[in-house]
A and B are shown apart, each in its own frame.
Chain A
């Protein structure tokens, strides 16, 4: 489908709502289309997008001369539309959180970091800001020094939603957990063991990624992007590199694209293997965890032996990949992909045969299709709830444009469905690895990086193992980064967790949480 055609329903909806959008620019942020809007049109455009059943993807903002520039990104039929809008410093942007609920936290994040004001915001509470900086300080502004003066005091005054009534108990959990996971606070309101409401409070792993990206060179940004969320290091680095390469007009050689896909699929398999085991372990089915952890360990050791890093950190670099693979190691990877497939399938079959496990996973943490569509969830959370979007299949980028990517789909939306999607994705990724290696093009694996000498911007979209990752990059006129915004899929799946646990029992929360497995680091930035 051509971008013009994909945007027809949207333009149609605009006209019916009486909004006359400016001409759409198909080049500036290609492959995404770009529309420059007036602040007054912001909400009407969002409403038109909603009418045209477009999926809301991301919101970010940056400082601009005399004020700010806000961006929001929508997708329909694999075509991305970025709407941007200039604002004066004291001008308020109409909030779209009442139209697209997923926009709520990104808008609050933009307010906390940049001081962008919103009008008619349904939830004006702070989000990313804890107590590391004051209410009237905005780290992403150029006049803010990003060096914390003192240790951050504990954040215990966040105004959580309250519940009253006989028998309602409040259970605070975290931010420090007993297991080795990232920090995040969960506030439950429960009636006995039944969860009435869950409220997340995140931001404990805010590292200032967006701030420290500013002023870096391309290689430095790729390294930083690889650390947005350590478990998705390949996918984030790829998305950032894709954005930078599109901005600077650099063509990555085919071999480099193939190798990037190989790395991304290896990362997907490693995480899926580990997480399916972890889901089972939360139901005290330890057998699965040990077996799958063993497979994962073999897998990451092979990554370490071939690429020099178990998690494949810093293997994706601007222009291509850091290293090439030899014919011998390609052979080895094909062999291990063919060996691990049946082994994993055997374990998954045992899991599917276990009635006691099935009883725990099925109908637990249900996210129905309507709710999933409303939230615009992506990745395995979406695929388990009837939302089949996969960047590799729907908006294919090289090398997936020359490969067929099957997308598993379920509608049950429960923990079992999410685990099944991931199990199927392991098989699909193993097949992709074999195909990629067998069709590995010859030639260089890396193009030389030439820093752009003018202000330019680009956007990258990559299917990480959690789902669609978006990255926006803007260069200044010296070839340094002026703005970097990575949108981890967790921004979309964390709100889904709050909703899918309602009505479940408190001891089933860990299963729901593990099956969604949002990244704290990728979300807190």
Chain B
């Protein structure tokens, strides 16, 4: 354990979480801007997502007559779990006190809790679109979560710990080597991330076609601050998967001390990594069409197989 797990460490971790939550919309907008540029469109201003959120927070909440308490508390739970998840993953600082309390399995569980309430909210009002969205979301979650856990287990076996800070630390201390298990794990995580964050080819975040929606269908009935929280949570989720991908598999540059120079380098490195990942995502989303809904299970089965191969290759090729 690093020696800065004192008050300053806690404050730094808190500051890091606040920063994470603050920049999440920026990352989502970066992907959008890259997509616009690729499609010869004029991109939205950098601060557009913040303006949208402010506008939604300022609007009145309109509730359906059939909405229950679940519908009203779901946005807070969905947003809360997203913030909680953001707080336990190594972002700029590799070793954070929160990570000691909540490991990778808790992270997966936290995201699952958010999803559970999101799906309940979709069902709550009783519209057919919400129900369809929830049904699709849970079908795909049943396939995506095992794949995600399998990736986490592979990493945990490598580092002999499910603590994300320990995993990152382990990789930083290792000599640079191409491990098949990590490569398969990375591919699996990318596929799971695309499915979980509702990106093309699984879901289309920009569609207006209710019948094709997954994530958007569940939040169709939300308005005002509820909608703002839901939108914000989905931006956070995108950022969480992006940061997880880059920091777990390419952790170089992440800071292990509170030294300003090292933190500065970490910020720069992370920005560069996220920018590249976001641009790649935008490129992929421009090149492929959305797949047929019934192909998504196959897509997730591929993710699961990759994660399984990752774990098997660790056991067979790299096991001690």
Residues of A with Cβ closer than 8 Å to B?
Answer: 169-173, 177-179, 193, 280, 282-287, 290-291, 294, 354, 356-357, 359-360, 505-510
Contacts and interface: CB of A to CB of B under 8 A. Distances in A.
B289 A172 contact: no
Central interface residue in B132, B290, B292, by most chain A CB within 10 Å: B292
A171 B291 contact: no
Contact of A287 (B39, B206, B290): B39
Contacts of B132: 171, 506
Contacts of B207: 284
Given A360-B290, A507-B293, 10 more contacts: A171-B128, A172-B128, A179-B209, A280-B289, A282-B209, A283-B290, A284-B289, A290-B40, A359-B289, A510-B211
A283 B35 CA distance: 16
9 interchain residue pairs of minimum CB distance: A284-B290, A285-B289, A284-B204, A178-B208, A357-B289, A507-B212, A283-B289, A356-B288, A356-B289
A56 B212 CA distance: 35
A290 B41 contact: yes
A193 B293 contact: yes
Nearest to B201: A356
B16 interface: no
B313 interface: no
B294 to A, nearest CB: 6
Contacts of B38: 287
Nearest to A193: B293
Contact of A356 (B204, B208, B291, B293): B291
A456 B201 CA distance: 59
Contacts of A510: 209, 211-212
Contact of B128 (A169, A179, A280): A169
Given A169-B128, A356-B291, A286 B209 contact: no
B180 to A, nearest CB: 28
A132 B270 CA distance: 62
Contacts of A506: 132, 211, 293
Contacts of A177: 208, 210
A359 B291 contact: yes
B129 to A, nearest CB: 8
B286 interface: yes
11 contacts: A171-B132, A178-B208, A178-B210, A285-B288, A285-B289, A286-B206, A287-B38, A291-B40, A360-B289, A506-B132, A507-B211
B292 A360 contact: yes
A286 B40 CA distance: 11
Contacts of A357: 289
Interface string B190-213: 000000000011001011111110
B300 to A, nearest CB: 16
Contacts of A170: 128
Contacts of B290: 283-285, 356, 360
B297 to A, nearest CB: 11
Contacts of B129: 171
Nearest to B35: A286
Contacts of A508: 292-293
A508 B288 CA distance: 17
Interface string B31-55: 0000100111100000000000000
Interface string B261-300: 0000000000000000000000001111111111100000
Central interface residue in A173, A177, A178, A357, by most chain B CB within 10 Å: A178
A178 B40 CA distance: 25
A510 B208 CA distance: 10
Contact of B289 (A179, A294, A354): A354
Contact of A505 (B35, B39, B294): B294
Contacts of B201: 284, 356
B235 to A, nearest CB: 19
Contacts of B35: 286
Nearest to A170: B128
B112 to A, nearest CB: 23
Contacts of B204: 284
Contacts of B291: 356, 359-360
A48 B287 CA distance: 53
A62 B41 CA distance: 52
Nearest to B288: A356
A284 B200 contact: yes
B289 A178 contact: no
Nearest to B214: A507
B128 A286 contact: no
Contacts of B294: 193, 505
A193 B201 CA distance: 18
Interface string B93-135: 0000000000000000000000000000000000011011000
A359 B292 contact: yes
Nearest to B207: A284
A507 B129 CA distance: 11
A179 B293 contact: no
Contacts of B293: 193, 505-508
Contacts of A282: 209, 212
A290 B42 CA distance: 11
B137 to A, nearest CB: 13
B33 to A, nearest CB: 14
Central interface residue in B41, B129, B209, by most chain A CB within 10 Å: B209
B287 to A, nearest CB: 8
Interface string B127-152: 01101100000000000000000000
Contacts of B209: 178-179, 282, 507, 510
A354 B286 CA distance: 11
Contacts of A283: 289-290
A294 B128 CA distance: 36
Contacts of B200: 284
B39 A290 contact: yes
Contact of A179 (B41, B208, B292, B295): B208
Nearest to A282: B209
Contacts of A294: 40
A286 B39 contact: yes
B58 to A, nearest CB: 23
Contacts of A509: 211
Contacts of A173: 210-211
Nearest to A357: B289
Interface string B212-223: 100000000000
A285 B212 CA distance: 14
A508 B289 CA distance: 13
A173 B132 CA distance: 12
A508 B292 CA distance: 8
Interface string B53-73: 000000000000000000000
A497 to B, nearest CB: 14
Contacts of A291: 40
A507 B213 CA distance: 8
B7 to A, nearest CB: 49
Contacts of A193: 293-294
Nearest to B293: A507
Contacts of A178: 208-210
A286 B200 CA distance: 11
Contacts of B131: 169
A91 B209 CA distance: 46
A224 B176 CA distance: 75
B151 to A, nearest CB: 25
A359 B201 CA distance: 12
Contacts of B208: 177-179
Interface string B77-89: 0000000000000
